[in-house]
Amino acid sequence: MKKLKLNGLFFEVLIIFIGLSAAFFVDDLRDQKREDQIRINFYNSFILELEEIRDRTVVLKEAIDTLGTALINRPEMEIPYRRNFDFTNNLFIIHSAFGGDNFTAVGPEYLRNIEFGANNIKVIEKRFNILDAETRRYILKSEKTKEEKSKFREWYLSELEFISFYLEQLVIAIEKGAIPDTQAFIESIK
C-alpha 141/C-alpha 136 separation (Å) is 9
Report yes or no: 57 and 173 within 8 Å, Cβ to Cβ: no
**Around Cβ 149, how many Cβ atoms within 10 Å?**
13
Whether pLDDT at 58 is above 90:
yes
pLDDT value for 62: 94
Region 156-177 average pLDDT: 92
**Amino acid identity at 146:** K
* Mean model confidence pLDDT for the chain: 83
* Domain map (residue ranges) of the chain: 2-189
Q: Name every residue whose Cβ is closer than 8 Å to that of residue 57 and which is 6 or more positions away in sequence.
A: 87, 167, 170, 171, 174
Whether pLDDT at 71 is above 90:
yes
pLDDT band with cut points at 50, 70 and 90 for residue 36:
confident
Q: How many Cα atoms are found within 13 Å in the side-chain-facing hemisphere of 184? A: 9
106 phi and psi angles, rounded to 5 deg: -100, 160
pLDDT value for 125: 87
